[in-house]
C-alpha cells in the first residue's frame, strides 16, 4: 500500500486517504501522548522514549488508579496479608473502590490516612 | 401574576444543579422566557452550565457537601439573585424533603413535589408500606427499625438469599449491595452504610429479596395541583452496570399492551397515594414477558429522571416545560387520552470511565470534543472542549438520545451517532457502547438487569482493537505540525526531539 496522504482539515482534524478509502481522524494532545479518534475508536499513542529505562526494580507497592478519597484502611504495618485481600477502600465519584493486595506479603508502611484525597501514581502502602 | 405564558408566576429560576441537566433546564427556560440563575462550585467556575445562565452565584468549595448539597447556601443564592423558583434537577437536593420545605418556607416555588410527598416517597421504607396499602405489588422485604446488624441478618434469613441491601434515601444504585451468603452480610451492611451516608447524608438501610434476571421497567407519571394524574408509558432500563443505568429505551420490547396498561394504572395509584405533584417515575421489576409477565414496585423517584428524554422523544412532550407549568399552578398541558407512543427512542449515557480498565472513573481535561448531529439525534451535555472532568461529581458527561420509527432504526442511528461522538483527553464508554449496541442480546432485546455485570468485561475487551494505519498517519502529521508550531513560538518549550514522523508506535 502506498503511503497515505494526510490533509489537516481543522483544529485537530485530519483527512487521511490510504488509497482505498478516506478516513476522518481527530488527534489531540501535545508532548509525549497523543489521543486519536477514528470511527468511534479512541486510543492513546505514546512517543518512544529512548534513554529511559523501562523496567523498575523496586516493588510497585499499591497505588490508586485515580484521584480518590480514602474511606477505610483494613491493614496495619507488620500485618501479613493474602493475595487479593482488601487493603484499603477508596471512594471516587460516589463509588467505592477496594484496593486489593497484588501479592501475599507483609505490610511495611501505610502511607495514607482515612479521609485523605490521594492521587494516582503515589504509593498508598508498601510491602516488606 | 403576569399574563402570557402558563409559567407566568415563575420569572426567574435558580437551577440547583450542574452538568447536562442544568444546561437542559436552562434551555427550557429560554424557550419560556424565564430568566436563569446558575450556581457553581470552585470546580465549575468555567463550566458550560454557568456560561449558559443569565446569572451565576458561587456556592463554595468543590466537594458537593460544601456547594451543591448545601441547601442553605442554595436558598441564600436564590434570595440574593432575586429568583422566585428553584429547580433541583436530579441527584443533589432533588429528593430531600427538608430542602423542598426550606424552599416553601422561603416563599420560593420548588419545581418538584410538595415536601410532604417527598417525605412519604423519600423514605423507601415508608413508600413500600404505602404501596402495599394502595394495592401496588412489591418485592418481599424488611426494614429493621433498630437498623442493627443482627436484625438485618435475621431479616435476610426470613426473606431468603440472595438479598439486596439498599439505602432508604437516594438512588442511582449507590450503596446497594447484594448478599448471597450469610458471611457477606456484615461487610455489605458496613459498605452500604458508608456509601449511603456519604452520598445522601442518611445511612438508614432496608433489605429485599433479589429477583434474579428481571428487567427494570419504569413508568413516567405526571401530576398537577388540580387532581390530574397521567402516565407517559414506560422506559426499559435493564442495561445497568452495578445498578447504574447505561442505556435506556422506550417502548420496552417485552411489554404487552395489557401489562403496559396495568403498570400505568399501578403507577398512577402510587402517585395518588402520596398526593403527588410534578414529574415522577415509578420503577418496577418485570419478571417474564408478554401477557404473563409480573411486575413489582421498586421505588418512586420524585424528580425528573436522567433518562426523561427517551419519553420526550416517543411521546412528543417537553417534561421540563410541563414541570414549570405545574409548579406555577397551571393544569397539566396534556391529558391521558392525548398521549400515545410513536416510534422508538434509545438513550446512551456517556460516562468518563475506562471500560478496558474495570470501568474506573476518569478525571482530567477534555482536549477535543464534538457531538454527533443529524435527524433524530439529540445530545444533552454538560461539558465542552477545555472542560476539566472533576473527581468530585458523577462521571456522566452527556447523553446521546436518538429517535427512529422502529427499534432497529433507532439502534442503527445510535451506532452511527456514537461513531461520530468525539471525546479526547479522557477515556469514555463510547467504544463500549458501540460494542454493546451490536451485542446479539441487545439486538434481540433480551437484556436483564444482571446482563452487564455478567458480560460487561467481555464487551469491554472487544473494544480493544488495532488502530487503522490511517489513524497513525494522522498522529504523525499532528506531531509534525505541533513540533513546527512550538519550535517557532518563543517562550514555549522547544520542539520535542522524539516527535518525528514515523516515531509513533501502535
Residue by residue, pLDDT tens for chain B (506 residues) are: 333 346 778 999 999 999 999 999 999 999 999 999 999 999 999 999 999 999 999 999 999 999 999 999 999 999 999 999 999 999 999 999 999 999 999 999 999 999 998 888 877 778 888 999 999 999 888 989 999 999 999 999 998 899 999 998 876 778 899 999 999 999 999 999 999 988 888 899 999 988 878 999 999 999 999 999 999 999 999 999 988 999 999 999 999 999 999 999 999 999 999 999 999 999 999 988 899 998 999 889 999 999 999 999 999 999 999 999 999 999 999 999 999 999 999 999 999 999 988 999 999 999 999 999 999 999 999 999 999 999 999 999 999 999 999 999 999 999 999 999 999 999 999 999 999 999 999 999 999 999 999 999 999 999 988 888 899 999 999 998 887 655 444 433 333 333 333 333 33
Chain A contact probe: residue of B477, B478, B479 with most A CBs at under 10 A = B478
Strand residues in B118-189 grouped as ranges (E):
141-142, 163-167, 177-179
CB B464 within 8 A of CB B231: no
**Tens digits of residue pLDDT in B312-324:** 999 999 999 999 9
Interface contact A72-B468, CB threshold 8 A:
no
Q: Name the residue in chain A with its Cα closest to that of B502.
A: A47
Which of A40, A68, A96 is the best mutation test for B, with the most CBs of B within 10 A? A40
How close A123 comes to chain B (CA, Å)?
18
pLDDT digits (tens, 9 = 90+) for A95-127: 777 888 888 889 888 888 888 888 777 788 888
Helix axes B149-159, B185-200, angle to 10 degrees: 110
Residue of A nearest to B504 (CA): A47
| Whether residue A93 has pLDDT greater than 80 | no
Q: What is the DSSP letter of A32?
A: T
Residue in chain B closest to A91 (alpha carbons) equals B195
B191 — contact with chain A (CB < 8 Å)? yes
Q: Is there a contact between B395 and A93 if contact means CB atoms under 8 Å apart?
A: yes
Long-range Cβ contact pairs of B483-487 (< 8 A, separation 24 or more) = B486/A30
Q: Which residues in chain B have their CB less than 8 angstroms from residue A88's CB? A: none
Of residues B419, B427, B503, nearest to A40 (C-beta): B419
Strand partners, B481: none
Q: Which chain B residues contact residue A89 at CB under 8 A? A: 191
Among residues A53, A51, A54, A1, the alpha carbon closest in space to that of B472 is found at: A1
Sort out which chain A residues have CB atoms less than 8 A from B486's CB and list them. 30
Are B368 and B424 in contact, with CB atoms under 8 Å apart?
yes
In this complex, do A12 and B423 lie within 8 Å of one another by their Cβ atoms? no
| ipTM of the prediction | 0.80
Give the DSSP letter of residue B366.
-
Encode B222-259: b = buried (16+ Cβ within 10 Å), e = exposed.
bbbbeeebbbbbbbbbbbbbebbbbbbbbbbebbeeeb
Smallest Cβ distance to B505: which of A26, A46, A71? A46
**C-beta of residue B381 within 8 angstroms of C-beta of residue B438:** no
pLDDT tens for B342-367 read: 999 999 999 999 998 899 999 999 99
How far apart (Å, rounded) are the C-alpha atoms in residues A31 and B506?
Answer: 17
**Best mutation target, A23, A36, A118, to test chain B (most B CBs within 10 A):** A36
pLDDT of residue A99: 85
Radius of gyration of chain B (CA): 24
Distance (Å, whole) CA B386 – CA B396:
16
pTM score, whole prediction:
0.80
Name residues 114-173 of chain B within 8 A of A (Cβ).
172
Give Rg (Cα) of chain A.
22
Amino acid at each position: 500500500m502506498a503511503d497515505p496522504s494526510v490533509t489537516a482539515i481543522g483544529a485537530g482534524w485530519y483527512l487521511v486517504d490510504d488509497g482505498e478509502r478516506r478516513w476522518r481522524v481527530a488527534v489531540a494532545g501535545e508532548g509525549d501522548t497523543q489521543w486519536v479518534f477514528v470511527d468511534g475508536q479512541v486510543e492513546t499513542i505514546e512517543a518512544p522514549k529512548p534513554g529511559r529505562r523501562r523496567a523498575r526494580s523496586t516493588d510497585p507497592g499499591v497505588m490508586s488508579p485515580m484521584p480518590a478519597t480514602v474511606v477505610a484502611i483494613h491493614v496495619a504495618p507488620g500485618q501479613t496479608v493474602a493475595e487479593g485481600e482488601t487493603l484499603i477502600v477508596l471512594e471516587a465519584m460516589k463509588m467505592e473502590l477496594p484496593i486489593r493486595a497484588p501479592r501475599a506479603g507483609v505490610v511495611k508502611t501505610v502511607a495514607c490516612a482515612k479521609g485523605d484525597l490521594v492521587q494516582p501514581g503515589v504509593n498508598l502502602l508498601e510491602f516488606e | 401574576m403576569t399574563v402570557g405564558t402558563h409559567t407566568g408566576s415563575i420569572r426567574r429560576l435558580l437551577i440547583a444543579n450542574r452538568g447536562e441537566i442544568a444546561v437542559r433546564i436552562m434551555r427550557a427556560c429560554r424557550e419560556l422566557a424565564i430568566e436563569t440563575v446558575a450556581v457553581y462550585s470552585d470546580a465549575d467556575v468555567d463550566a458550560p452550565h454557568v456560561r449558559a445562565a443569565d446569572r451565576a452565584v458561587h456556592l463554595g468549595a468543590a466537594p458537593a457537601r460544601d456547594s451543591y448539597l448545601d441547601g442553605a447556601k442554595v436558598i441564600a443564592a436564590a434570595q440574593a439573585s432575586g429568583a422566585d423558583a428553584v429547580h433541583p434537577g436530579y441527584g443533589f437536593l432533588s429528593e430531600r424533603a427538608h430542602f423542598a420545605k426550606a424552599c416553601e418556607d422561603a416563599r420560593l416555588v420548588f419545581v418538584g413535589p410538595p415536601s410532604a410527598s417527598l417525605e412519604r416517597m423519600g423514605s423507601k421504607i415508608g413508600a413500600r408500606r404505602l404501596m402495599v396499602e394502595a394495592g401496588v405489588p412489591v418485592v418481599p422485604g424488611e426494614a429493621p427499625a433498630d437498623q442493627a446488624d443482627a436484625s438485618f441478618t435475621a431479616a435476610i434469613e426470613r426473606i431468603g438469599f440472595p438479598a439486596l441491601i439498599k439505602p432508604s434515601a437516594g438512588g442511582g444504585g449507590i450503596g446497594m449491595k447484594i448478599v448471597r451468603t450469610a458471611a457477606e452480610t456484615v461487610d455489605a451492611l458496613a459498605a452500604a452504610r458508608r456509601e449511603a451516608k456519604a452520598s445522601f447524608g442518611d445511612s438508614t438501610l432496608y433489605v429485599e429479596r433479589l429477583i434474579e434476571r428481571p428487567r427494570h421497567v419504569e413508568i413516567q407519571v405526571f401530576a398537577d395541583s388540580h387532581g390530574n394524574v397521567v402516565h407517559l408509558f414506560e422506559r426499559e432500563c435493564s442495561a445497568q452496570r452495578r445498578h447504574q443505568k447505561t442505556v435506556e429505551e422506550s417502548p420496552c420490547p417485552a411489554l404487552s399492551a395489557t401489562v403496559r396498561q396495568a403498570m400505568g394504572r399501578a403507577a398512577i395509584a402510587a402517585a395518588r397515594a402520596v398526593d403527588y405533584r410534578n414529574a415522577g417515575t415509578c420503577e418496577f421489576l418485570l419478571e417474564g414477558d408478554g401477557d404473563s409477565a409480573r411486575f413489582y414496585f421498586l421505588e418512586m423517584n420524585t424528580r425528573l429522571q436522567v433518562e426523561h428524554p427517551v419519553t420526550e422523544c416517543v411521546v412528543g412532550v417537553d417534561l421540563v416545560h410541563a414541570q414549570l407549568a405545574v409548579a406555577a399552578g397551571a393544569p397539566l398541558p396534556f391529558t391521558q387520552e392525548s398521549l400515545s407512543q410513536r416510534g422508538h427512542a434509545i438513550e446512551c449515557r456517556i460516562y468518563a470511565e475506562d471500560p478496558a480498565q474495570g470501568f474506573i472513573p476518569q478525571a482530567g481535561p477534555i482536549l477535543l470534543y464534538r457531538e454527533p448531529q443529524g435527524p433524530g439525534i439529540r445530545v444533552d451535555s454538560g461539558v465542552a472542549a477545555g472542560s476539566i472532568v472533576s473527581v468530585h461529581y458523577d462521571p456522566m458527561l452527556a447523553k446521546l438520545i436518538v429517535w427512529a420509527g422502529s427499534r432497529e432504526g433507532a439502534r442503527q442511528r445510535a451506532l452511527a451517532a456514537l461513531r461520530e461522538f468525539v471525546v479526547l483527553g479522557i477515556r469514555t464508554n463510547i467504544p463500549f457502547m458501540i460494542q454493546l449496541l451490536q451485542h446479539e442480546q441487545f439486538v434481540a432485546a433480551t437484556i436483564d438487569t444482571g446482563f452487564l455485570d455478567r458480560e460487561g468485561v467481555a464487551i469491554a475487551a472487544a473494544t480493544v482493537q488495532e488502530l487503522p494505519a490511517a489513524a497513525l498517519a494522522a498522529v504523525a502529521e499532528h506531531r509534525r505540525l505541533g513540533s513546527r508550531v512550538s519550535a517557532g513560538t518563543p517562550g514555549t518549550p522547544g520542539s520535542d526531539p522524539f516527535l518525528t514522523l514515523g516515531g509513533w508506535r501502535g
